Amino acid sequence: MSNNTIDGKIIVITGGTGSFGKQFIQYTLQHYKPKRLIVVSRDELKQKQLRKKYPEESTPVRFIIGDVRHKEAMFNATKGADIVIHAAALKQVPLCEENPTEAIKTNVIGTMNVITAAIENNVERMMLISTDKATNPANLYGSTKLAAEKLTISMPNAKQNDGDFKVIKTKCSVCRYGNVVGSRGSVVPLFREQAKSGKVTITDERMTRFWITLEQAVAFVHLSLSKMQGGEIFIPKIPSMKIMQMVEALAPGAQVVITGIRPGEKLHEAMISREEAPYASEYEHNFVIRPLTPNTVDTFGGKACAHDFYYASDINQDFLSVPQLIEILKNVH
């Protein structure tokens, strides 16, 4: 399909060898015609493996070893780019709790480096990939992603530089969504492995989560890229699932062992807080939180959310059934 936002453009994706990155590359090449797709990551082994699938001689994919913690590396990686997708992050909640300095360096300072590099290189669009854990965060991972979101939607508006005003050409926005089915660290591979022993561990049987497939997440990012004006947070309408139904789908008949909620873990996740609701608008398939500044207006023609609206996994209008989960999981490896 044709897309003027993507076709003929140079796209950079940080964290490009991760679960989202690999799906983004595949989806983009299947549906669009970018001039170049530059994969930036610090994992040389994964880059080596990915190069076999996308050889530089016959595809528009290019590879750069680079760490978002290094501003100069990000400046060099984004030079000449039209679009930057920032997906690099430390994502494991327990590991971020145990290594707070490392999480801040990657998720906060790294995001600042990517945004700064994009602005300095006059990149047209920069999109941060975020998470529902950034909404009223209860752990360090969520807090770093909230900080990353604030940087993304605020930095382009901070136009004063050493007393002079600089015109910022780069549009910066955020895609915020829930747990990705089958991504690294998800419960899917864990439950499948535990099912072999006939015993599955969960932290609390009441737990609910938003759920989205990798392909849906990538498609939503592409849609948001085509609509962004700068400063928005795009949120998809996606179903919730109950943790006990996930156990039934992945490990039917297994013994369930309750281990207790881990530090920083929530019973339920939210994607729009009540504090954000006055700035949120609803559409057929998604929500948009407008820039959190006075007198902002909805430029997309959506329906304003009620001021006390709250979009959370436990009160979602759409829950996946066990048969639906089983069907979805057939395509998750």
Domains of the chain: 10-178+212-238+273-313 (3.40.50.720)
Distances in whole angstroms, Cα of residue 45 to Cα of each of 18, 119, 189? 12, 30, 22
Q: Return the pLDDT at 291.
A: 83
- In this structure, what token pair is assigned to residue 223? 């849609």
Three-state SS sequence of 69-138: CCHHHHHHHHCCCCEEEECCCCCCHHHHHHCHHHHHHHHHHHHHHHHHHHHHCCCCEEEEEEEHHHCCCC
Q: Return the pLDDT at 259.
A: 94
Confidence of residue 168 (pLDDT cuts 50, 70, 90): confident
Residue 238 in contact with residue 210, Cβ under 8 Å?
yes
Q: Return the pLDDT at 184.
A: 66
Confidence of residue 164 (pLDDT cuts 50, 70, 90): low
Choose the weakest-confidence range: 110-114, 151-155, 180-184, 207-211.
180-184
Question: Which residues make Cβ contacts (< 8 Å) with residue 229, sequence separation at least 6?
Answer: 171, 173, 299
In the chain the beta strands, taken as DSSP E runs, fall at 10-14, 36-41, 61-65, 83-86, 125-131, 160-161, 164-165, 171-177, 179-180, 199-202, 208-212, 233-236, 240-242, 255-258, 270-272, 280-282, 286-289, 303-304, 311-312
- In this predicted structure, the answer to whether residue 255 has a pLDDT above a threshold of 60 is yes
d(CA 61, CA 55): 7
- In this structure, what token pair is assigned to residue 67? 């760490």
Q: 3-state DSSP helix/strand/coil percent for the chain, to nearest 5?
A: 35, 25, 40
- In this predicted structure, the answer to whether residue 298 has a pLDDT above a threshold of 90 is no
Positive or negative, the CA dihedral 202, 310, 292, 21 is: positive
Q: Return the pLDDT at 181.
A: 84
d(CA 293, CA 133): 22
Confidence of residue 23 (pLDDT cuts 50, 70, 90): very high
Q: In what order do the strands lie in the sheet with 61-65?
A: 61-65, 36-41, 10-14, 83-86, 125-131, 171-177, 233-236, 286-289, 280-282, 303-304
Q: Which of 133, 145, 242, 266 is catalytic?
A: 133
- Name the 3-class secondary structure at 222: helix
Confidence of residue 1 (pLDDT cuts 50, 70, 90): very low
Q: Return the pLDDT at 188.
A: 86
d(CA 73, CA 114): 9
For residue 166, indicate whether it is catalytic. no
Neighbours of 100 (CB within 10 A): 13
Q: What is the mean pLDDT of residues 43-48?
A: 93
Q: Which residue has the tokens 């006055």?
A: 278
CA atoms within 13 A on the CB side of 42: 12
Q: Residue 313's closest CA among 281, 271, 280?
A: 271
Q: What is the mean pLDDT of residues 137-147?
A: 96
- Name the 3-class secondary structure at 143: helix
Could you report the per-residue pLDDT of 3-13, keeping only the tens digit for each?
Answer: 678 999 999 99
